[in-house]
Amino acid sequence: MAMAAQRQGGWWLLILPAFLLMTAFYVTPILQVLAISFTEPQPGLQNYERLFTSESVQRVIVTTLRICTITTVLALLLGYVLSYKIALADERARRWWILAVLVPLWISVLVRAFAWVTLLRRQGLVNETLMGAGLIQEPLALVWNEFGIIVGMVHYMVPYAVLPMLASMREIDPRLLAAARGLGAPRGTVFFRVFLPLSLPGLIAAGVLVFIFSLGFYITPAILGGGKTLMVAEWIGLQILDLIRWGLGTMMATMLVVTILVTLAIFSRVVNLRRVFGSGA
């Protein structure tokens, strides 16, 4: 027992430098942000009072939650179909599919956002094509609104949705699917009674991951929203950098952190979070 305790102590020493580094450069600034939200412009809870009184604060929160929810649902749908296809593909095809999913991850989020702008703007490829084909008379408003933000965010999030779901689907023994068919289940029943329930942990994990990621999105909404549709991160930037209202900005930042922690806490009871962040079970 003593030996084991000693060995445990030894392990902790090994991560001490990393722990100190994290405390100094990560935890401390966050605590400072938390502190500012209670002290600027004068000590008290008046920044948090705005959550209940200010319509503009509430609008930003509602917009953010709505965009994040829609993004999560769409990214999960697209990601699920992709993962299903990849999980059931043969080994060679699977490698190519995974590469195709991962390549967008290596391209800067800035480049991707501007690429969407060129595609979706009034004289962009999509509008020009539709007008050329005579399907529409007036260009559609595809960008600098919520629609544009959601397109960009879904595009960014699909790989993050695919990876946990694919991991969970690949753990499903293909013999279970064969067994279900052999026992008389048509393909649809095999999917809904066997495949879907078994892939559910991955689906939930991907949902949590995508939702949390979306909450703090900055560049994509800033470019594709064109400043008209504000999400939380951009609003915080606006408060702190342009309006120099540190108190309000840090209040919202704190709310963001709290929301993320609460979401994680709820889902850690439902699924194994280690799976979400890629650690082996």
Partner 1 sequence: MSSAGHAPSLQGLSKHYGSFRAVDDVSLSVERGQFLTLLGPSGSGKTTILMCVAGFVAPTSGAILLDGRDITALPPERRDFGMVFQGYALFPHMTVAENVAFPLRVRKLPTAERDAKVRAALDLVQLERFADRRPSQLSGGQQQRVALARALVFDPALLLLDEPLSALDKKLRAELQEELRALHRRVGRTFINVTHDQEEALSMSDRVAILNHGKLVQEGAPAALYERPRTRFVADFLGKSNFLTGTVREAHPGGFAIAVGATRVVQALDPAAPRPALGTPALLSLRPEKIALLAEGEAADNVVEGRILSWAYLGAGFALSVATPDLGVLRVTLPAWGAPIAPVERLPVRLGWSAAASVPVEEDAA
CB nearer partner 1, residue 210 or residue 271: 271
**Residue 191 Cβ vs partner 1, minimum distance, rounded to whole Å:** 12
Residue 89: Cβ within 10 Å count = 14
* Element spanning 176, H or E: helix 174-182
**Residue 196 Cβ vs partner 1, minimum distance, rounded to whole Å:** 10
**Residue 179 Cβ vs partner 1, minimum distance, rounded to whole Å:** 4
Question: Which residues in this chain contact partner 1 in the complex, by CB under 8 A?
Answer: 173, 175-176, 178-187, 189, 193-194, 197-198
* Element spanning 275, H or E: helix 273-276
Q: Work out whether the CA dihedral 119, 125, 129, 132 comes out positive or negative.
A: positive
Nearest to 267 by CA among 222, 203, 224, 218: 203
**Residue 62 Cβ vs partner 1, minimum distance, rounded to whole Å:** 37
**Residue 205 Cβ vs partner 1, minimum distance, rounded to whole Å:** 16
CB nearer partner 1, residue 182 or residue 280: 182
The answer to whether 74 touches 201, Cβ cutoff 8 Å, is no
CB nearer partner 1, residue 10 or residue 188: 188
Residue 275: Cβ within 10 Å count = 19
CB nearer partner 1, residue 194 or residue 219: 194
CB nearer partner 1, residue 130 or residue 185: 185
Q: Note the helical H segments in 40-145.
A: 46-53, 55-88, 91-102, 109-120, 125-132
